Amino acid sequence: MNSVSLIIPVYNESPHLQKFLEVIDALQLQIDKELVIVDDYSTDNSWEIINNFNFSSRVVLDRQDMNRGKGAAIRKGIEQATGDIIGIQDADFEYETEDISRLLQPLIDTKADLVFGSRFKKSNPQVFRTFHYLINRILTIYSNLCSGLYLTDMETCYKFFLADVVKNINLESNRFGFEPEVTAKIAKLKLRVHELPISYYPRNYLEGKKITWKDGVAAFRHITYYNFFVKSSRCFKKDMPEKFIPMGLNLL
């Protein structure tokens, strides 16, 4: 594994975006890093900040022609990413970027095909707000029951995939449905999935948090739909490596 692409969807993040870009651009990893930044038609000056930033990393910049949602921005980023590994990074400081190196290592060592960063692993000392903690735990438990994949944090932002895997998943969700959708679909494949504890510093709505209770309700629908009502053969592209495809699954 020679390189990683970090997909960074951006929507109205101007208050802290300059500082975030400084941190993520300066981040040193054990393999080459590519930043794929997709602005989801921000209405503040986020796009101007991005364009005026003097990147030292390899960077791909794109902007949606209208506000389409986080999932749509991630899809566009995945299409343009060139790294052997592809990971998701929010454009804020809720997640500790220093954790990325540790999440990459099982992929670099060819011991995993997908790594989740868990905010709820026992070795993580972070204290959470009760409401958000319970919602995330309930969603994860329901996802586990539906998919058969045991995780502690399905809704985590930090997901790192082999590029050959995620580029060959047919993704549809436009908003925050990306998390339950991609989890349901990867559970249908023969993948080695690792989950490692990460640090987490939740922000509030005044600080720019976008997800709401409505997205939590929608997540239940997404989990149900993608686990039970979408044919497995339609979840993946024909270029999905054969070693990841379960016996008996014929791709359309």
Contact by Cβ (8 Å): 34, 66: no
For residue 176, the 8-state DSSP code is T
pLDDT tens for the 252 residues of the chain, in order: 899 999 999 999 999 999 999 999 999 999 999 999 999 999 999 999 999 999 999 999 999 999 999 999 999 999 999 999 999 999 999 999 999 999 999 999 999 999 999 998 866 555 555 567 788 889 999 999 999 999 999 999 999 999 999 999 999 999 889 999 999 999 999 999 999 999 988 755 444 455 666 777 889 999 999 999 999 999 999 999 999 999 878 886
Amino acid, single-letter form, for residue 34: E
Q: Model-level pTM?
A: 0.92
SS3 state at 250: coil
Task: CATH number for 3-244: choose from 1.10.287.70, 3.90.550.10, 3.90.1150.10, 1.20.120.160.
Answer: 3.90.550.10
Q: Which residues sit opposite 37 in a β-bridge? A: 8, 61
